[in-house]
Amino acid sequence: MKKNFFLLLLLSSTVFSVNAQMDSKLLKDIENIESQVIDWRHYFHENPELSNREFNTAEKIATHLKSLGMEVQTGVAKTGVVGILKGNKNGKVVALRADIDGLPVTERNDLPFKSTKTDTFLGTETGVMHACGHDTHIAILMGVAEVLSKNKDKINGTVKFIFQPAEEGPPPGEEGGAKLMVKEGVLENPKVDAIFGLHINSGTPVGTIKYKPGGTMAAVERFVVTVKGKQTHGSAPWSGVDPILISAKIIDGFQTIISRESPLVQEAAVITVGKITSGVRFNIIPETAEMIGTVRTLDPNMRELIIRRMTEMARDIAKAYGGEATMEWQNNTVVTYNDPDLTAQMLPTLHKTAGEANVQLMKATTGGEDFSYFQEEVPGFYFFLGGMTPGNTEVYPHHTPDFKIDDAGMLLGVKTMTQVALDYLNGK
């Protein structure tokens, strides 16, 4: 009996080991496309485009999807592209999403494929850069599309490839991003049952995947504070009202909302002023000043508190110094929420592609993702992919001029997104 027990244990561990491996043909197809995926990434990195202006990017994506024989939709949410791949068997519909826009950042590194592109953003001439890794996301999903198109016999259902513009936010006065895609029906016809997305990370080693069930990334608000003072000569400030001084006091006050009023033991929260504009000349105190910034929250009650207190504080501080201040608010994303059941269902897939030791539970981050708008409509799972050269001690954050990603990280992205789609559709 003891002998039979150990034999059964050996057999079950062997079966588990076999089940934990990727299909050999599928794996070979993925490995064979790695160099092409890297080439695509270099092309998109060298040719970035700003939100809602991704015309060349969209054309290249659409051309590739059409070459695979897919049904392709263009012009979705202005510049988005959607490809539909039907498997050889009927079943559910799974969506895979990649964001495609660059940022108004001037690249400052020595990459042979660095961007030298320029454009105008909010009236200012600026460099354009894939400073958040969206170039890798595009290339990875194009690779997944090619691999799955060669393995339709393994697909029990339909895969919808969503290449989404304007994740970083559409220009003021325009609609865009995931919210507009949802509004235009991207999750319908065929109706999507679940959606998956990834984000490469410059501070996570290549070969590693990080995830979190439930709330993963923050709700994001964009705010504009308009301060009105009274213009006067810079030599006689007592004869006017200085909106620049008032702005400085407001910024200082905002930070006390975080440090003294927000229960940070519950969840993190951030207030950042990213742009301030005022004045034309060194010896003139101007009439107005404008501040633009963001609020990041993970708790709905803290979000309500912070928005209310910022609005009150801006108004009252300006009044105390003889001026006026008004605030405008725009919600950019809601909380990125990973459906707990879907996350648990797909965890074995992450173990299969990355190895269990390389799949790590993470804490929530105050970064924001408009992938959250898809997750409001259907169950979704969003995870993070390592893009840092292992052992690297020089790591540059996202949205900075020196941001870098190791090309070696993309192979695991293709493996995981491919396997996630198949395992979901096949009920594993």
The ranges assigned to domains in the chain are: 33-212+362-425, 219-333
Instruction: Name the phi and psi angles at 104, rounded to 5.
Output: -80, 70
Q: Determine the Cα–Cα distance for residues 424 and 407; give it in Å rounded to an integer.
A: 27
Please report the beta strands in 193-352, taking only residues with DSSP state E, as ranges in sequence order.
Answer: 194-205, 209-211, 214-228, 232-233, 269-278, 284-285, 288-297, 324-333, 336-338
Q: Which residues of 80-91 are buried (b: 16+ CB within 10 A; e: fewer)?
A: bbbbbbbbeeeb
> What are 339-352's pLDDT values in tens digits?
999 999 999 999 99
Where in the sequence numbering do the catalytic residues fall? 101, 167
In CATH, which superfamily holds the domain spanning 33-212+362-425?
Zn peptidases (3.40.630.10)
> What are 118-144's pLDDT values in tens digits?
999 989 999 999 999 999 999 999 999
- Asked if 101 and 114 touch (Cβ cutoff 8 Å), the reply is no
> What are 66-104's pLDDT values in tens digits?
999 999 999 999 999 999 999 999 999 999 999 999 999
Residue 288: predicted pLDDT: 98
pTM, entire model: 0.86
**DSSP string covering 247-279, please?**
HHHHHHHHHHIIIIIS-TTT--EEEEEEEEEE-
Residue 243: predicted pLDDT: 98
Domain at 219-333, CATH from 3.40.640.10, 1.10.240.10, 1.10.3720.10, 3.30.70.360: 3.30.70.360
Residue 392: predicted pLDDT: 87
Residue 394: predicted pLDDT: 86
Residue 172: predicted pLDDT: 86
Residue type at 369 in one-letter notation:
E
Q: Exposed/middle/buried for 23, CB within 10 Å: 0-12, 13-18, 19+?
A: middle
Strand partners, 277: 290
Q: Which residues of the chain have pLDDT under 50?
A: 1-19
- Asked if 278 and 290 touch (Cβ cutoff 8 Å), the reply is yes
Residue 20: predicted pLDDT: 61
User: What are the Cα distances from residue 89, in Å, to 151, 153, 155, 296?
Assistant: 12, 7, 7, 43
Residue 393: predicted pLDDT: 82
Q: By C-alpha distance, which of 414, 382, 426, 415 is closest to 40?
A: 414
